[in-house]
Amino acid sequence: MLKINKNVEAAKAVIALEGRLDTVTAPELEDDLLAIIDGITELVLDFEKLDYISSAGLRVLLSAQKTMNKQGTMKIVHVKDVIMDIFEMTGFLDILTVE
Amino acid sequence: MAEAKIALTGRIDSNNAPRVEQDMLGQLAGLGQVPVVLDAQELQYISSAGLRVILRLKKNYPDLTITNVNSEVYEILEMTGFTEMMTVEKAYRVVDVAGCEEIGRGANGTIYRIDQDNVVKVYNNADALEDIQHEREVARLALILGIPTAISYDVVRVGESYGSVFELLNASSFSKILAQEPEKMDWCVKEYVDLLKKIHSTVVPAGKLPDLKETVLDWARFMLDYLPEEAGKKLVAMVEAIPHDDHMIHGDYHTKNVMFQNDEVLLIDMDTLAIGHPIFELASMFNAMIGYSEMNPEQIIAFQGFDAETGRTFWRKSLAEYLNTKNELKIQEVENKARIIGYTRMIRRSIRRKGMETEQGRAEIEHWTGELLELLARVDTLMFSRNELEVEAIEENLEQVQAFVDEQLEAADCSPKSQMQIGLAVEEIFVNIARYAYAPEKGRATVRVEVSDAPVVVTITFMDHGQPYDPLAKEDPDVTLSASERAIGGLGIFIAKKTMDNVLYEYKDGQNILKLKKNL
């Protein structure tokens, strides 16, 4: 289960995730991102309530990062330890901007 | 050769034993070694001195029978082993069951309450003495092995049939409780399944009970004439593949055969006791609660006293309790296996009882055969384990697979972090199987969860019959590359390897076997 809370104001989008970003839910986030990402220069992903991420979730983050590298900035905030561990283990800490 | 008949009367003990002996020898004098029949109709008591007289007599007259033995004297003869040394025939009390409450019904007979403390099981078969003897023996065996059951203490005549009498005080069958006190459903499920688990964990010494697998194989072979060739062969092969199991099964474990008496749950109707794989038991439970009444809801009301809805709920809850899971896929997996044997049994039974000759019979046979064929198309084994989940390998089943693993880990005292990592590795591996093992076809996968003690190691094994593929052979992704250089994908197996302490792969017996190990 994943709850996606989107807040888009002009060129800035804040997306808050709640629950699990896994094989089942990652396509939902991917679709939502695709729908709003055009013209966005500042993307913030709020992981305060995200408890779980698998490789399917990482793939969506990586592809969002690739897009944002071309058109602006992306950062991920309020990341829980369990997810930090996954970022670290997979080298994503070096790819993503995590605050 | 003429036989000599001698009447025994009153009490025979040390006071009169010598006189009785002399008297008997006097009656036999000059007759040679004839068969001797001791008529015990008037005998009220016999002590060891009296028994010794009979033993001495038996030495000289080996063909010795004692007839018309009342139940008190029979008890003495049985206790002292005399019933095994010579032919002892009981005197049968006559019992009338007209107007008595029916409290149980099994494959071979019906149980009535004859007074406050006693019940009688009246056998369908008029010539039931052997059946009665068999049931007594198996009940005694069960009792010795720790299964709470009632053992009959007397054999009686009921009309043209025989009956065996049991002491059963203030007892209610679980059917009666479910019908009259539906709020006790969960309590009934718990007690019923606790006893079931106890039966299934009881090892029976070799040769003491029949092997139900043989019987089920007969049912399956019977179906060869009534199913398309492929389906029939598959059914027989699946039964053949069930391994020998020397644990006890009751054979007719439905709620009329489980009694509650003085705070104790008690099993009755023991004549179907056997050994075998628990799936055979679950099949007969399915039939009693759902199968027989699937097309005819009135049937269960007549038989159990509660409605089809209660039967279905009780079956589902019992299966969940038995498998120790709330996992819908797991319950369904085992239910489907039980249904295969259940339908097989019902179709054969109906055909043999000329079901094809009535409209309702034909409709039932057709319905059950349809269900059976549909199941045979998608189930490949009748075996199951409580710590295994067998599912279609599709991504939609991921959540249930993870929930099943979590449930299995509940007892393992897993830290939230380890549990999360295990869940993550399970996702990566299962999704991999779902996407690639059978592509572009679909297939099934089995997930097994094992937890060892000291050191505590969780082992999760994935098995599939897809393309041989070793996911560990693939090189790990370079995690130092920048975003633009990194490929999308290839991370799943890497995550599993990193979060687990050990990941092992082998291809064996046509199966991909991947093991995840995590030290707790």
List pLDDT tens digits, range B33-79.
899 999 998 999 999 999 999 999 999 999 999 998 988 899 999 99
Residue A18, pLDDT > 80, answer yes
Q: Count the neighbouring beta carbons within 10 Å of the beta carbon of residue B302.
A: 9
Chain B: give the shortest CA distance to residue A23, in Å.
Answer: 8
Residue B320, pLDDT > 90, answer yes
B480: nearest CB among A22, A65, A91: A91
The predicted model gives B70-98 an average pLDDT of 90
Q: Which residues of A touch B495 (CB under 8 A)?
A: 54-55, 86, 89-90
Structural tokens at position B476: 């790990």
Q: Which residues of B374-385 are buried (b: 16+ CB within 10 A; e: fewer)?
A: ebbeebeebbbe
Residue A39, pLDDT > 80, answer yes
- Render pLDDT for B390-417 as a digit per residue (tens, 0 to 9): 899 999 999 989 999 998 888 788 888 8
Residue B1, pLDDT > 70, answer no
Residue B351 vs residue B486, higher pLDDT? B351
What pLDDT score does A4 carry? 96
**If one looks up domain B101-167 in CATH, what number appears?**
3.30.200.20
Q: Cβ of A52 and B491 within 8 Å?
A: no
- Render pLDDT for B421-479 as a digit per residue (tens, 0 to 9): 999 999 999 999 999 999 999 899 999 999 988 888 999 999 999 999 898 888 888 88
**Residue that the structure tokens 């009169």 belong to:** B16
Confidence of residue A40 (pLDDT cuts 50, 70, 90): very high
Structural tokens at position B502: 């050990």
B483: nearest CB among A22, A66, A82: A66
By CA distance, what is A60's nearest residue in B? B488
Residue B81 vs residue B486, higher pLDDT? B81
Q: Cβ of B481 and A55 within 8 Å?
A: no
Type of residue numbered A56: A
What pLDDT score does B25 carry? 92
By CA distance, what is B477's nearest residue in A? A90
The answer regarding whether domain B388-519 maps to CATH 3.30.565.10 reads yes
Q: Which residues of A touch B424 (CB under 8 A)?
A: 52, 54, 86
CA atoms within 13 A on the CB side of B75: 7
By CA distance, what is A22's nearest residue in B? B427
**If one looks up domain B178-378 in CATH, what number appears?**
3.90.1200
Regarding an ipTM greater than 0.95, the answer is: no
Q: Which residues of A touch B491 (CB under 8 A)?
A: 55, 58-59, 90
Instruction: Tell me which of B426, B430, B479 to substitute to probe the interface with A (most A C-beta atoms closer than 10 Å).
Output: B479
User: Please, what sign has the CA dihedral across residues B425, B428, B430, B433?
Assistant: negative
Which chain B residues have any C-beta within 8 angstroms of a chain A C-beta? 395-396, 398-399, 416-417, 420, 423-424, 427-428, 431, 478-484, 486, 488-489, 491-492, 494-495, 498-499
Mean pLDDT, rounded, of chain A: 94
Q: Which residues of A touch B403 (CB under 8 A)?
A: none
What pLDDT score does B45 carry? 94
Residue B483, pLDDT > 80, answer no
Q: Cβ of A54 and B482 within 8 Å?
A: no
Chain A: give the shortest CA distance to residue B467, in Å.
Answer: 22
Residue B475 vs residue B6, higher pLDDT? B6
> Does an H or E element contain B267, and which?
strand B264-267
What pLDDT score does B478 carry? 86
Chain B: give the shortest CA distance to residue A89, in Å.
Answer: 7
Q: Cβ of B494 and A86 within 8 Å?
A: no
Architecture of domain A2-95: 2-Layer Sandwich (3.30)
- Render pLDDT for B114-132 as a digit per residue (tens, 0 to 9): 988 888 999 988 778 888 8
Q: Cβ of A91 and B431 within 8 Å?
A: no
A24: nearest CB among B398, B480, B481: B398
User: Please, what sign has the CA dihedral across residues B418, B419, B421, B422?
Assistant: positive
Q: Which residues of B touch A64 (CB under 8 A)?
A: none
Q: Residue B116 and residue B281: Cα distance in Å, rounded?
A: 32
By CA distance, what is B416's nearest residue in A? A82
Mean pLDDT, rounded, of chain B: 92
pTM equals: 0.73
Residue B31, pLDDT > 90, answer no
Residue B319, pLDDT > 90, answer yes
Residues A40/A41/A46/A47 CA torsion (nearest 10 deg): 100
What pLDDT score does B291 carry? 95
Residue B271, pLDDT > 90, answer no
What B500-509 contacts at long range (C-beta under 8 Å, 24+ apart), as own/partner pairs, is: B500/B421, B500/B422, B500/B425, B501/B457, B503/B425, B503/B472, B504/B472, B505/B470, B505/B471, B505/B472, B507/B468, B507/B470
Confidence of residue A99 (pLDDT cuts 50, 70, 90): confident
- Of 1.10.10.10, 3.30.750.24, 2.40.50.140, 3.40.50.300, the CATH number of B4-91 is 3.30.750.24
Domain ranges in chain B?
4-91, 101-167, 178-378, 388-519
Q: Cβ of A82 and B492 within 8 Å?
A: no
The predicted model gives B269-290 an average pLDDT of 95
B494: nearest CB among A63, A69, A90: A90
- Render pLDDT for B166-210 as a digit per residue (tens, 0 to 9): 888 778 899 999 999 999 999 999 999 999 999 999 999 999 999
B483: nearest CB among A55, A89, A95: A95
B489: nearest CB among A23, A59, A90: A59
Tell me if B287 sits within 8 A of B364, measured CB to CB.
Answer: no
B10-19, B91-100, B101-110 — which is least confidently predicted?
B101-110
Tell me if B45 sits within 8 A of B13, measured CB to CB.
Answer: yes
What pLDDT score does B134 carry? 87
Q: Which residues of B304-336 are buried (b: 16+ CB within 10 A; e: fewer)?
A: bbbbbebbebbbbbbbbbbbbbebebbbebbbb
Tell me if A3 sits within 8 A of A20, measured CB to CB.
Answer: no
Q: Which residues of B touch A52 (CB under 8 A)?
A: 420, 423-424
